[in-house]
Amino acid sequence: MKEFDERKAVTVKVRTIVLQTIAANLGTLIASLASLISYIYYVRSAGSSKGRYLTAFTGYNVFFLGALSVSALII
Protein backbone atom coordinates (compact mmCIF):
# COMPACT_ATOMS: atom_id res chain seq x y z
CA MET A 1 0.00 0.00 0.00
CA LYS A 2 1.30 3.45 -0.90
CA GLU A 3 2.07 5.85 1.88
CA PHE A 4 -0.16 8.92 1.88
CA ASP A 5 1.83 12.13 1.45
CA GLU A 6 -0.27 14.89 2.97
CA ARG A 7 1.98 17.69 1.67
CA LYS A 8 1.60 16.49 -1.91
CA ALA A 9 -2.18 16.21 -1.54
CA VAL A 10 -2.42 19.75 -0.18
CA THR A 11 -0.17 21.09 -2.95
CA VAL A 12 -2.36 19.50 -5.61
CA LYS A 13 -5.51 20.90 -4.01
CA VAL A 14 -4.06 24.41 -3.76
CA ARG A 15 -2.87 24.30 -7.39
CA THR A 16 -6.33 23.16 -8.51
CA ILE A 17 -8.09 25.88 -6.53
CA VAL A 18 -5.79 28.59 -7.92
CA LEU A 19 -6.31 27.43 -11.51
CA GLN A 20 -10.09 27.24 -11.03
CA THR A 21 -10.17 30.73 -9.52
CA ILE A 22 -8.19 32.19 -12.40
CA ALA A 23 -10.31 30.38 -14.98
CA ALA A 24 -13.52 31.58 -13.31
CA ASN A 25 -12.45 35.20 -13.79
CA LEU A 26 -11.75 34.77 -17.49
CA GLY A 27 -14.25 35.41 -20.22
CA THR A 28 -16.55 38.21 -19.17
CA LEU A 29 -16.07 41.72 -17.95
CA ILE A 30 -18.36 41.26 -14.97
CA ALA A 31 -16.76 37.98 -13.83
CA SER A 32 -14.41 40.02 -11.69
CA LEU A 33 -15.39 43.10 -9.72
CA ALA A 34 -11.89 44.51 -10.23
CA SER A 35 -12.31 44.24 -14.01
CA LEU A 36 -15.66 45.99 -13.85
CA ILE A 37 -14.27 48.80 -11.68
CA SER A 38 -11.27 49.31 -13.98
CA TYR A 39 -13.63 49.43 -16.98
CA ILE A 40 -15.80 52.10 -15.33
CA TYR A 41 -12.75 54.24 -14.47
CA TYR A 42 -11.34 53.85 -17.97
CA VAL A 43 -14.61 54.78 -19.68
CA ARG A 44 -14.92 57.92 -17.54
CA SER A 45 -11.42 59.11 -18.44
CA ALA A 46 -10.83 61.58 -21.27
CA GLY A 47 -10.07 60.11 -24.68
CA SER A 48 -11.16 56.61 -23.73
CA SER A 49 -12.56 54.09 -26.18
CA LYS A 50 -14.96 51.40 -24.99
CA GLY A 51 -14.21 49.28 -28.03
CA ARG A 52 -10.45 49.45 -27.51
CA TYR A 53 -10.81 48.44 -23.85
CA LEU A 54 -13.11 45.53 -24.66
CA THR A 55 -10.85 44.37 -27.48
CA ALA A 56 -7.78 44.42 -25.22
CA PHE A 57 -9.70 42.77 -22.37
CA THR A 58 -10.95 39.99 -24.63
CA GLY A 59 -7.51 39.51 -26.18
CA TYR A 60 -5.86 39.11 -22.78
CA ASN A 61 -8.58 36.70 -21.68
CA VAL A 62 -8.17 34.54 -24.78
CA PHE A 63 -4.40 34.51 -24.35
CA PHE A 64 -4.52 33.51 -20.68
CA LEU A 65 -7.27 30.96 -21.28
CA GLY A 66 -5.03 29.35 -23.90
CA ALA A 67 -2.03 29.46 -21.58
CA LEU A 68 -4.02 27.88 -18.75
CA SER A 69 -5.39 25.22 -21.07
CA VAL A 70 -1.89 24.27 -22.18
CA SER A 71 -0.73 24.27 -18.54
CA ALA A 72 -3.62 22.00 -17.57
CA LEU A 73 -2.70 19.55 -20.33
CA ILE A 74 0.92 19.50 -19.17
CA ILE A 75 0.05 19.08 -15.51
Instruction: Express each pLDDT in 51-64 by its tens digit.
Output: 888 888 888 888 88
pTM: 0.54
Q: Is residue 50 one of the residues assigned to a domain?
A: yes
Q: Is residue 27 one of the residues assigned to a domain?
A: yes
Q: Which helix (H) or strand (E) holds 61?
A: helix 50-74
Q: What is the pLDDT of residue 66?
A: 87
In one letter, which amino acid is 13?
A: K
In one letter, which amino acid is 50?
A: K
Who wins on pLDDT, 54 or 23? 54
Q: Is residue 1 one of the residues assigned to a domain?
A: no
As for how many domains the chain has, the answer is 1
Q: Is the CB of residue 43 less than 8 Å from the CB of residue 37?
A: no
Tell me which residue of 24, 13, 18 sits closest to 71, measured CA to CA.
Answer: 18
Domain that holds residue 35: 6-74
